[in-house]
Structure 1
Amino acid sequence: KTHDAQKTASTLMGTEVPLNDRCCGEAGTFAVSRPDIASQVRFRKEEEYNKGLEELTGEPTAEKGKVKMLTSCPACLQGLSRYEDDTGVEADYIVIEMANHLLGDGWQEQFIERAQAGGIEKVLL
């Protein structure tokens, strides 16, 4: 959270990555405690989401696997995943996308193998 997410994603992808503003309405117990407000927040996010997708692709839906929405928030990942069936846009963590680009295919399996074969010396959170 010390770096500008839009700049980081743009550098990672090698092209300008547009910012899609608005809260997804999933934060903590927000959707449970105030579903009336959370529904309105989700509605505004969906409008912004669709507008951004149209600007990016020129289409109301994306071809599967061609557009991703990146986040660092677990609640947002859950909320953004709700749009995938309607839009074709996959939601994922920005750190996963970075690892895919920097470490290549199979990095998850290699990580698990290394962890099981002696563990990990240092972990940073």
Structure 2
Amino acid sequence: MEKVLLRLGFTLTDVPDSHLCCGSAGTYALTHPDLARQLRDNKMNALESGKPEMIVTANIGCQTHLASAVVPLCVTGLKF
């Protein structure tokens, strides 16, 4: 995945403790939710420490679990 992103012109940054799990690990987030949230929060802190424009993963489990830590943006003043 890194080679593809580099070919597309993205700049990649090193992540502290990149070897550590996000806490999803298959059913782990379901069977151990409190510990999984702690692992997720630790991973998000590491990922966000470099102030990235975006965070990319090739693993759908990681994507879903990490996304659960993100507060959606609320845009006010829109008219429909």
Structure number with the higher helix fraction is 1
Q: Give the deviation of 1:29 after TM superposition.
A: 0.8
**AA matched with 2:13:** P
Structure number with the higher strand fraction is 1
- Return 5+ residue gaps in structure 2 as ranges: 74-80
Q: Which residue of 2 aligns with 1:11?
A: 7
1:68 aligns with 2:54: yes
- Return 5+ residue gaps in structure 1 as ranges: 57-66, 89-125
The percent identity for this pair of structures is: 29
Matched length: 70
Q: TM-score, normalised by structure 2?
A: 0.63
Q: Is the 8 A contact 2:22 2:62 kept in 1?
A: yes
Q: Give the deviation of 1:19 after TM superposition.
A: 4.2
Q: Which residue of 1 aligns with 2:37?
A: 39
Q: Is the 8 A contact 2:41 2:69 kept in 1?
A: no
**Greater C-alpha Rg:** 1
Q: CA RMSD in A?
A: 2.4
